[in-house]
Amino acid sequence: MKFPLGKIVATRDALSAIQHDEAIIMQLLLRHQSGDWGIVHDEDRLANDKAVLTGARIISSYHLQPSDQLLWVITEADRCTTTLILPDEY
């Protein structure tokens, strides 16, 4: 575990996209928390790595299968909340 997730919340559309599948939710949260930022640009990857150390916000991006829809996992800087959200809801 690289950082605490705090309270886990998800938007209605994000839950619909993952079909309320708790196993998928846990897999994405574990990837996010372990530093696997998913599909992000190199500069975002470096920013996330730095954010783990400095306490800034962390954003991961994952393609959902089989739809290939994008889902973001965002942990706030204060580490009190982690949100699963679709990019168009942000």
**pTM surpassing 0.85?**
yes
Domain ranges of the chain: 7-89
Cα separation, 3 vs 77, in Å, equals 11
The pLDDT tens digits for 16-25 are 999 989 999 9
Cα separation, 13 vs 86, in Å, equals 7
Sequence-distant (6+) residues with CB within 8 A of 89 are 11, 13, 14
Question: For position 41, what pLDDT does the model report?
Answer: 98
